[in-house]
Amino acid sequence: MERVLSGMQPSGRLHLGNLVGALQNWVRLQEKYECYYFIADWHALTTQYTDASQIKENIEDMLVNYLAVGLDPKKSTIFIQSWVPEHAELHILLSMITPLGWLERVPTYKEKQQEIKDRDLATHGFLGYPVLQSADILIYKANYVPVGIDQLSHLEITREICRRFNFLYGDVFPEPEGLLTEFPKVTGLDGRKMSKSYNNCIYLSDAPKEVEQKIKTMMTDPKRIRRTDKGDPELSPVFQLHKIFSTKNEQEEVADSCRTAAIGCLDCKEILIKNIFKVLEPIWSARKRFLEKPEFLKDIARAGTEKAKMAAKETLTEVKNVLGLY
């Protein structure tokens, strides 16, 4: 069976954008592929190295979310990156053959440095971020990597490192391909892309009351001031969310009633709240179950890690052989 691998940095809580853009796709892929899903805690350290205390909490919450959305440890291997130190061993071996120029040219390298002003990212670890990601992928000989567009440059360098390795030492790694999710970007509460850095998210861990409150206070068409004003749904971030969470019929209905002022913004929001609750309710109740059993969570991570380690060790042995290490 072909292999799929993906991971996320435990750098914050997961939100609806992560759910729709990635996790729901991961869940579907479990049925067709041998899947490896992990928590990239070393990657989080490349930018949060001055204070790692938050990472631990985020790992636990991420594990809860992975399971609550339907990743199934019976179908997929779910694990924590730093518990499989073989990734680091492959990372150092790949770093030997990776030209500096390739890394300096990765767009995220300069972008993130400009974006994140409060920390010094002129570090070896941060420059090597894509090499570590390559090791994550290649150590499982993954065929497919479901990621968002923002990760394509990292995948491209993984493919380059893969080709260079195979060219120098013989065919060891299959060239991994990206699997782009076809979902549109989830709009945040303020109309921009949902992102924790914009503080405009609905989190999977938000309480029902919080979600309701967040949607009720969302912006709508700024020109629709009075209930009797006719609105333009396309100018309302609420409608953008309807496009993802409501049925086609509901979308047409709220759009028409907005244009004719047949319903008010609060009515429109009530429908959205109902539909988002439909998605979140099973996640909330699963989260509750898992949060009550922290030991069970850890056991799942341990078992997944053991499985991952076996596959990783096998590849690493092969790598050391072709390299001719003593």
The catalytic residues are 112, 193, 196
Region at 324 (left for phi over 0; alpha for psi -120 to 50; beta for the rest): left
Q: Which is nearer to ligand TRP, 61 or 136 (CB)?
A: 136
83 vs 284 by CB, closer to ligand TRP: 83
Distance (Å, rounded) from C-alpha 178 to C-alpha 25? 13
Exposure string over 127-147, b if 16+ CB within 10 A, otherwise e:
bbbbbbbbbbbbbbbbbbbbb
Shortest separation between residue 125's beta carbon and ligand TRP, angstroms: 13
Closest to ligand TRP by CB, 148 or 191:
148
Cβ 43 to ligand TRP shortest distance, Å:
5
Buried b (16+ CB within 10 A) or exposed e, 57-81: ebbbbbbbbbbbbbbebeebbbbbb
Using alpha carbons, list the distances in angstroms from residue 168 to 97, 133, 163, 320. 9, 20, 9, 13
Residue nearest to ligand TRP (CB): 40
How far apart are CB 266 and ligand TRP at their closest, in Å?
Answer: 36
Q: How far is the CB of 169 from ligand TRP (least distance, A)?
A: 22
> With the CA atoms of 24, 25, 26 and 28 taken in that order, what torsion angle do they form, in degrees rounded to the nearest 10?
90
Question: Least Å distance between CB 46 and ligand TRP?
Answer: 9
d(CA 134, CA 158): 5
Name the site residues for ligand TRP (rule: CB under 6 A). 5-9, 40, 43, 133, 136-137, 145, 147, 151, 154
Give the length of the chain. 326
Residue 140 or 239 with smaller CB distance to ligand TRP: 140
Report yes or no: 257 and 231 within 8 Å, Cβ to Cβ. Answer: no
* C-alpha distances in Å from residue 147, one per residue of 154, 233, 249: 10, 30, 30
> What backbone phi and psi angles, to 5 degrees, belong to 275?
-75, -35
Residue closest to 279 by CA, chosen among 244, 313, 236: 244
CA distances from 185 to 16, 31, 312 (A): 10, 25, 33
Give me the least distance between CB of 210 and ligand TRP, in Å please: 25
Strand partners, 8: 39
CB of 137 or CB of 300, closer to ligand TRP = 137
Q: Which is nearer to ligand TRP, 91 or 224 (CB)?
A: 91
